[in-house]
Structure 1
Amino acid sequence: MKSENVGSGGTAVDWRAVLVFVSIAFSSQCGGGFASGSTPWTYFFQNTGFYGMLPEVTQPYFCLLMPLVVAAINCFIIYFFMKFAMDFKTFDYGNFLEKYGSRFWGGVLAKPMQIVYELNFNWLLIVCMALAYSTSGSALKELTGIPYIWTTFIVGIIMFLLCMKGTELVRKNAVFMSAVIFIALVVVHVPNLIFNIGSGKLANEMAVMSSSMEAGIASGAGSFLKYLLIAFVWAYIFSGQNLAGFGAYVNHAQLFNNKKTLRRAVILSVIVNWIFLEMNAINLAGNYSAVYDGWANGKAVYTILVVQNGWAGGAVKAISLTLLTIAIFFATISTAINYAQGFNDRALNWYQKKTGEDPKVSEARRNRRGAVLTFVYICLTWVISQAGLTALVSKGLTAASYINLFTLILPTVMNVIIGWPDREYDSGRKVQAGTKK
């Protein structure tokens, strides 16, 4: 194939770009449901059955394997869609999906994929922003006693202020927020992890979960293999709702100037997310009975129960609960603003292209227009958030993961099988663009 001049990206790893991307990926995927324990509980432990489409089962032992399955799926999909965005310079999700779907089956699915994802992403954006209110509001209410309606109002103001200055501020905030979330969750989870394993709580609670599954098998409700397969389905659903938000960070593919940096960034981000998800799952498993009672009685923030039943005394528990609330607060807000900024970039790029407006004029007005879009979404999702957290997690995010199978997962597999011209970012000279990766 003909060669093309693609510019110099150098061969050295740009660790600043790696750090920024890991922060964005961590703060996007370690959202409110993740930090509060509600999404791991819903998908790995006591799943809801999703309108009868899947059976309601307890998943003993499998719950400890499922975060690894999630990490494997995420690593494969994120690497290839980010590489595709780099190679084809498609940095908003509308252009990305149009190109992504045009490369197989004669492009017949390109437009439907784009339309369905537009609807799915906007639905996901609404759910994630509403989750930001619900999770942070619930955590602040339990810690401070302030009424839920006022805690969610405070969260909305903060999200608006963070979103109104554009992508660059979102990236800077992602690094700061990720550092806060990282430190707070390490302080909360690591000591409780050691305590739950060392004290035998994890083994005892695993026995409780196992007896529930064994009773189901004995009654003819299913077999061991059936429960294992269901666990893998729910692991995909968890991964699918993470990946459904790729529109929130596909624009950040512009960070990378060589593939080595991209590989490091994706692998490190997946490892970090897996470690924290695994710790979360182990600590929820070690407190299964207490969390189950909390779930049955309408509690929404299960990691608070992990701390309350954990290793420390009163004063240390109070500090841990404060740190946990901060982590949940930042996790929910960072996810919401990343999703909102992804939508803003898409909408504003479309508007500039549609009107033919001068790019310099569009850039000058970008932040103001983005602020208006964000304000509309914040008002809409604040109203929705009053429905509460549990319904949003069990229904909204699960629906997004099903739709994402059509809009991203299977198209990624198809594009990887087909292959595409590989832009050699690692070289400063003219290079061949025909190697399939």
Structure 2
Amino acid sequence: MNKIIPGYLAIALVWFSSHFGGGFASGRQIVAFYLNHDWTSIFMPAVSMFIMGICMYYSMVIAARFKVYDYSSWSKKLYGGIGFFAVPIYEILVNAVLLLATAVAFATGGTILTKLFGTSYMMNTFFIAAVIFVFTIYGSELVRKSAVVVSVMLIASMLLIYLPNIIHYFPKIVQNLKAIKSGEIAVSGSGSFADALWWGVKYGTLHCCAIGAYIVHAQVCPNKACLRKAIGIGILINCLIMYLTYFGILAFADQGIFKEAVPALFVVMHGQGGAWMTTLISVCIVVGAVSTGVALVFGTTNRLVVLFGRNLDEAEKVRKQRVHSMAASSILVVICWMVAQFGLIPLIGKGYGSMGWVTMILLTIPIVLRGLGLWRFSEDMAGKELCVEEAD
């Protein structure tokens, strides 16, 4: 794939397509974590992505340095001497994120398909489960290729949806930002910079939960220069789409859009464009939900494959890898599909904020300390360097 798409670009697009889930595509996360807080939230998408980018970089350095591409082996290198209690807690966190975020993907996608085609919710979620299963059994190469296609489609669609509205309503965007600053437009947060910063940090650390699903792709970036390109481009792409959504929704802040379940639909129904944009944003939400589900399920599938083959020799592991991948994906997809049938989106939404600060303590801080060389254990980090090849 590197002959067509450089490894660093593939990683950046996997990151974007995974981050761009149903909650992001719908605009609900942008409202909950940013727009419903102090006007200084305008700076916070960049803060969030910088935090996640730093953690992504250091995490992939560890993965490439020690050639540990499943999150269990990787976490043992991260936690070192405290791994005996930190690794099991981390595994619980990762699987909680997998369960909740993938259930959101199924539930959000199923609901949108019902609105579009009138088909049953259960049948829709079964279809989404089947798509995710197919993508996750054919390996990281297919996941990266699909991420490239999905990312290009989503970026083009979001530009088409939001850019005309931002240009047309720019004076109104400025006016609404001033109204939020003065208190004329009410927000649910405390209206302080500290509150806006706290929610921006929580968003960044929350999405660090999914790092275990990304590290498998470090295999296509065997050196630090390549990884720095991947993270730099990933930050730019994610920030671009986050700010398009932020300003697009801000244009309608005086019309009660913050209370809408799907703010993105409000934008296309009341802004520039036609009825076809409603279909386009609906498709984006479904595709975004599926892309997140694929990344998370595949990341955990890789962990289970290692577990299934723990007592086999290398030749037998290779021979049974496809069977183990299918078994692992089947187990994970079925469990997430069953959870989605309970309609847990409100419960999951409330849980996301708590997961943000839990991840900050358990994952973000240790990763940064390890990356900066402020936390070392004799058996792993000391004296080791990232195995390098020439940069792409």
Equivalences for residues 158-307 of structure 1 within 5 A: 158-197=131-170, 200-212=171-183, 227-290=192-255, 292=257, 294-295=259-260, 299=261, 301-307=262-268
Residue 101, structure 1, aligned to residue 101, structure 2: no
The alpha-carbon deviation at position 164 of structure 1 amounts to 2.6
Q: Distance in 2 between matches of 1:288 and 1:400?
A: 28
Farther-moved stretch of structure 1 (170-179 vs 122-131) = 170-179
Q: What do the CA deviations read for 1:161-217 (whole angstroms, capped 9, x no partner)?
A: 2223232322222122222212211211211221221xx332343344345489899
The alpha-carbon deviation at position 20 of structure 1 amounts to 1.2
The alpha-carbon deviation at position 115 of structure 1 amounts to 0.9
Secondary structure, counterpart of 1:131 in structure 2: helix
Match of 2:306 among 338, 346, 349: 349
Q: Distance in 2 between matches of 1:234 and 1:358?
A: 47
Residue 156, structure 1, aligned to residue 129, structure 2: yes
Q: What do the CA deviations read for 1:208-260 (whole angstroms, capped 9, x no partner)?
A: 4345489899xxx96x6xx2111111111111121110011111111113221
Task: Please tell me the residue identity of whatever aligns with 1:253.
Answer: A
Equivalences for residues 23-422 of structure 1 within 5 A: 23-46=13-36, 59-102=37-80, 107=81, 109-197=82-170, 200-212=171-183, 227-290=192-255, 292=257, 294-295=259-260, 299=261, 301-312=262-273, 317-353=274-310, 355=311, 357-388=312-343, 390-418=345-373, 420=381, 421-422=384-385
Q: Distance in 1 between matches of 2:270 and 2:330?
A: 40
Task: Please tell me the residue identity of whatever aligns with 1:310.
Answer: G
The alpha-carbon deviation at position 86 of structure 1 amounts to 1.5
The alpha-carbon deviation at position 413 of structure 1 amounts to 2.4
Q: Distance in 2 between matches of 1:213 and 1:414?
A: 42
- Would the aligned equivalents of 1:13 and 1:261 in 2 still touch at CA under 8 Å? no
Task: Please tell me the residue identity of whatever aligns with 2:174.
Answer: A
Q: Distance in 1 between matches of 2:300 and 2:120?
A: 31
- Would the aligned equivalents of 2:33 and 2:200 in 1 still touch at CA under 8 Å? yes
Change (3 A) 1:191 1:214: closer
The alpha-carbon deviation at position 38 of structure 1 amounts to 1.6
Q: Distance in 2 between matches of 1:115 and 1:359?
A: 26
Output the TM-score relative to the length of structure 1. 0.80
Task: Please tell me the residue identity of whatever aligns with 2:324.
Answer: R
Secondary structure, counterpart of 2:222 in structure 1: coil
Secondary structure, counterpart of 2:207 in structure 1: helix
Task: Please tell me the residue identity of whatever aligns with 2:87.
Answer: Q
| Residues matched between the structures, number | 382
Q: What do the CA deviations read for 1:19-55 (whole angstroms, capped 9, x no partner)?
A: 2111211111111111111211221134xxxxxxxxx
- Would the aligned equivalents of 1:291 and 1:302 in 2 still touch at CA under 8 Å? no
In structure 2, runs of 5+ residues without a counterpart are 375-380
In structure 1, runs of 5+ residues without a counterpart are 1-11, 47-58, 429-437
Farther-moved stretch of structure 1 (123-132 vs 147-156) = 147-156
Change (3 A) 1:34 1:291: farther
Secondary structure, counterpart of 1:311 in structure 2: coil
- Would the aligned equivalents of 1:290 and 1:305 in 2 still touch at CA under 8 Å? no
Output the TM-score relative to the length of structure 2. 0.89
Q: What do the CA deviations read for 1:138-157 (whole angstroms, capped 9, x no partner)?
A: 32233334343333232222
Identity of aligned residues (%): 24
Please tell me whether Structure 1 or Structure 2 has the larger radius of gyration of its CA atoms: 1
Change (3 A) 1:284 1:402: same
- The aligned residue for residue 378 of structure 2 is none
- The aligned residue for residue 5 of structure 1 is none
Q: Distance in 1 between matches of 2:334 and 2:75?
A: 29
Change (3 A) 1:180 1:414: same
Secondary structure, counterpart of 1:425 in structure 2: coil
Q: Distance in 2 between matches of 1:157 and 1:235?
A: 34
Change (3 A) 1:368 1:287: farther
Secondary structure, counterpart of 1:418 in structure 2: coil
Q: Distance in 1 between matches of 2:47 and 2:102?
A: 26
Secondary structure, counterpart of 1:245 in structure 2: helix
Q: Distance in 2 between matches of 1:242 and 1:358?
A: 35
Q: Distance in 2 between matches of 1:277 and 1:389?
A: 25
Q: Distance in 1 between matches of 2:149 and 2:263?
A: 25
